[in-house]
A and B are shown apart, each in its own frame.
Chain A
Amino acid sequence: MTETAIRKQKMRAEVLRHETLAPGIRSLELRVPELPSAARPGQFVGVYTGDGAMLLPRPISICDSGDEKELRLVYRVAGKGTAEIAGLKAGEETQILGILGNGYPVEELKNKRVLLLGGGIGIPPMLLLAKQLSALNSGEEKDQSPVITVLGYRDAQMFLREEFEKYAQVFIATEDGSVGTKGNVLTAVKQEGIRADAICACGPMPMLRAVKAYAAQEGIACYISLEERMACGVGACLGCVAKTTREDEHSHVKNTRICTEGPVFNAKYVDI
């Protein structure tokens, strides 16, 4: 993957739209005049709450990037910080820290049959990835190298599904079986007989563990996005590390910084 030097900064962001997609799932569209570059799929930003007693920015993945100055974040209201963020109204301003993290290796995935697996709040970053992969593979290549997406939800309260359908072939798995395959994303992959050259996944840790094992068994490339409690978001505090299977180049121990070397890792190299 090419390492582009993107300047990270704390920036003012204007709320363009903020709406509820499903219970507890909010979509926040921001205009960020100082945004240093377009976002890569899998990258994230730190969103500050309006409450000064909550010091740390909340890491939220980028779901879409309209033009170079717009970002869409789809997040789950999970605690006090995201509840505070959820109160932002169109026209109001907030601050974000970004753009953070590495993102998925889009170029390496060109003209490959790529399977995108999103579980729960791991679904949003897959949208920008589906969009970019679909744009990369056009014409005949598109028919030969379709982007296939499996989205896993708890129940019929789905979100972003229609938007994925613009860029990818979409399969659904629900835990309660109310829509699509009953089970998780891998149940659907196996049931539908989906084959791929590479997998990109984001979702809860048990899902990522299963996806890693599946990819190893199938012998295909697998990129997973990890999350962890973060403080600085820029690689200084070493709060958000993942265990690695080999010595990490930066830390010189078997720990890697999720905010900086990640959040997207080749599944082979992380010990999850």
Chain B
Amino acid sequence: MNTDKNNIENMPDLSVEIGGVRLQNPVMTASGTFGSGMEYSDFVDLSKLGAVVTKGVSAVPWEGNPTPRVAETPSGMLNAIGLQNPGVEVFCERDLAFLSNYRTKAAADAVGDGPRVIVNVCGHTVEEYLEVVERLSDEPVDLLEINVSCPNVKAGAIQFGQNADSLMDVTQRIKRIAKQPVIMKLTPNVTDIAEMARAAEAGGADAVSLINTLLGMKIDVERRTFVLANRTGGLSGPAIRPVAVRMVYQAAQAVKIPVIGMGGIGSAEDALEFILAGATAVAVGCMTFHEPATAVSVIDGMKDYMIRHGIERISDLTGAVR
């Protein structure tokens, strides 16, 4: 009995598998909240993360929306960045180069597998998504996350994620050319999340991640204007967590592929809610803005939880609440 407990204390197994790729632990960063890792490398030892999910990348540079782009709301925030990014070429030369250096270093230091690199892909048209996916074929990228759920750009993105037929179609077309496993990132701004998860699975997705932000609005009553220049924005943070847990549960019930859960995760307990609801892995998003080291403390807290409860493998907890 004692020996068993010691074994778990030494190494509870936090590793998980998504699309055949092993992650050293189930904690990743949510796209758009962590740049490409560089910006937070002062605060966080990136080599400890399960994966770094990059800011959305498009075929050519995107300007994004006018400011104000962000607004705080109770236990959350609205954003309407509009997927500003330097385009896939600069991204490969600069951001991917940075991240792969980090992986090499992590491997050399023998601290585990190092963080997996997941690139979030966005586009206005299916062709634009395909261009980025193709460009990334031979780059040091472990998984692709396809953003069909950003509420802040006028064309593309969410249009593909709010209709089951188009979601299945875009998934199929991406899967046909993608060299890396494909995660479809789903929007909560739909009537039936299970239907969308099934459409992604039917299209051949290797996993789904959810939830992207909930469409919201904030009004400045003194000035009698919208706070965000874009008028609407995506709500994130602990305010949306119960909605996210519910949707992850429904999606996990509907599909066999792994579900990556996110929405206001700030602690190991929050992350475990998602895992118990059916998530294989989780992502920390806007709480990084509150506490830059959140993702690492979530990993540490999960380890403590597993030791405390005598759980050998984190994957044993996935969907344990039914």
The answer to whether A and B assemble together is yes
Chain A residues proximal to chain B, CB less than 8 Å: 7-10, 48, 52-57, 81, 97, 228-242, 250-255, 260
Contacts of B75 in A (CB 8 A): 52-53, 55
- Given A55-B290, A255-B63: A239 and B69 interface contact (C-beta under 8 Å): yes
Assess the A237–B72 pair: CB atoms within 8 A.
Answer: no
B319 at the interface (CB under 8 A from A): no
CA distance A10 to B70 in the complex (A): 21
B19 at the interface (CB under 8 A from A): no
- Given A55-B75, A237-B289, A240-B67: A10 and B84 interface contact (C-beta under 8 Å): no
Assess the B87–A237 pair: CB atoms within 8 A.
Answer: no
- Given A8-B43, A253-B84: A55 and B237 interface contact (C-beta under 8 Å): yes
B79 CB contact (under 8 Å) in A57, A233, A239: A239
Contacts of A56 in B (CB 8 A): 72, 77, 289-290
Chain B residues proximal to chain A, CB less than 8 Å: 32-35, 39-40, 42-43, 55, 61-64, 67-72, 74-77, 79, 81, 84, 86-87, 90, 237-238, 286-293
Contacts of A97 in B (CB 8 A): 292
Assess the A236–B39 pair: CB atoms within 8 A.
Answer: yes
Contacts of B40 in A (CB 8 A): 234, 236
Contacts of B72 in A (CB 8 A): 54-56, 81
Contacts of B34 in A (CB 8 A): 236
CB distance from A94 to the nearest CB of B (A): 14
* Best-buried of B34, B61, B67, B74 by chain A (most CB within 10 Å): B67
Assess the B76–A237 pair: CB atoms within 8 A.
Answer: no
A228 CB contact (under 8 Å) in B67, B87, B90, B287: B67
B63 CB contact (under 8 Å) in A10, A54, A235, A253: A253
Not counting A57-B290, A232-B288, a sample of 4 additional A-B residue pairs whose C-beta atoms are within 8 angstroms of each other reads: A56-B289, A230-B70, A237-B79, A251-B84
Contacts of A250 in B (CB 8 A): 86
Contacts of B39 in A (CB 8 A): 232, 234-236, 260
- Given A231-B289, A236-B40, A237-B32: A253 and B64 interface contact (C-beta under 8 Å): yes
Contacts of A228 in B (CB 8 A): 67-68
Majority-rule SS of A interface residues: loop
CA distance A52 to B74 in the complex (A): 9
A53 CB contact (under 8 Å) in B55, B74, B289, B293: B74
CA distance A52 to B75 in the complex (A): 7
CA distance A99 to B275 in the complex (A): 36
CB distance from B41 to the nearest CB of A (A): 10
Contacts of B76 in A (CB 8 A): 55
Assess the B43–A55 pair: CB atoms within 8 A.
Answer: no
Complex: chain A residue closest to B80, CB-CB: A239
A235 CB contact (under 8 Å) in B35, B64, B74: B35
List 7 A–B pairs whose Cβ atoms lie within 8 Å, in order of A's numbering. Answer: A55-B289, A229-B71, A232-B289, A233-B289, A236-B35, A238-B55, A238-B81
CB distance from B295 to the nearest CB of A (A): 13
CA distance A255 to B40 in the complex (A): 20
Assess the A238–B42 pair: CB atoms within 8 A.
Answer: no
CA distance A53 to B33 in the complex (A): 18
CB distance from A262 to the nearest CB of B (A): 13
Assess the B43–A10 pair: CB atoms within 8 A.
Answer: yes
Assess the A9–B84 pair: CB atoms within 8 A.
Answer: no
Closest 10 CB pairs of A and B: A252-B86, A239-B70, A236-B35, A236-B39, A55-B290, A229-B68, A235-B39, A231-B70, A53-B75, A232-B289
A238 CB contact (under 8 Å) in B68, B74, B84, B237: B84
CA distance A81 to B164 in the complex (A): 42
CB distance from B244 to the nearest CB of A (A): 16
CB distance from A243 to the nearest CB of B (A): 9
CB distance from A83 to the nearest CB of B (A): 13
CA distance A10 to B86 in the complex (A): 28
Complex: chain B residue closest to A58, CB-CB: B72
Contacts of A9 in B (CB 8 A): 42-43
Assess the A252–B69 pair: CB atoms within 8 A.
Answer: no
Contacts of B293 in A (CB 8 A): 10
CA distance A240 to B228 in the complex (A): 12
Complex: chain B residue closest to A241, CB-CB: B67
CB distance from A37 to the nearest CB of B (A): 13
Contacts of B63 in A (CB 8 A): 253-255
Assess the A255–B84 pair: CB atoms within 8 A.
Answer: yes
Contacts of B33 in A (CB 8 A): 232, 236-237
Contacts of A7 in B (CB 8 A): 42
Assess the B287–A55 pair: CB atoms within 8 A.
Answer: yes
* Best-buried of A228, A233, A238, A242 by chain B (most CB within 10 Å): A238
CB distance from A204 to the nearest CB of B (A): 14
Assess the B90–A240 pair: CB atoms within 8 A.
Answer: no
CB distance from B39 to the nearest CB of A (A): 4
CA distance A229 to B63 in the complex (A): 18
Contacts of B70 in A (CB 8 A): 229-231, 237, 239-240
Assess the B61–A241 pair: CB atoms within 8 A.
Answer: no
CB distance from A256 to the nearest CB of B (A): 11
Complex: chain A residue closest to B36, CB-CB: A236
Contacts of A234 in B (CB 8 A): 39-40, 42-43, 292
CA distance A236 to B287 in the complex (A): 13
Contacts of A239 in B (CB 8 A): 67, 69-70, 79, 81
CB distance from A230 to the nearest CB of B (A): 7
Assess the B291–A10 pair: CB atoms within 8 A.
Answer: yes
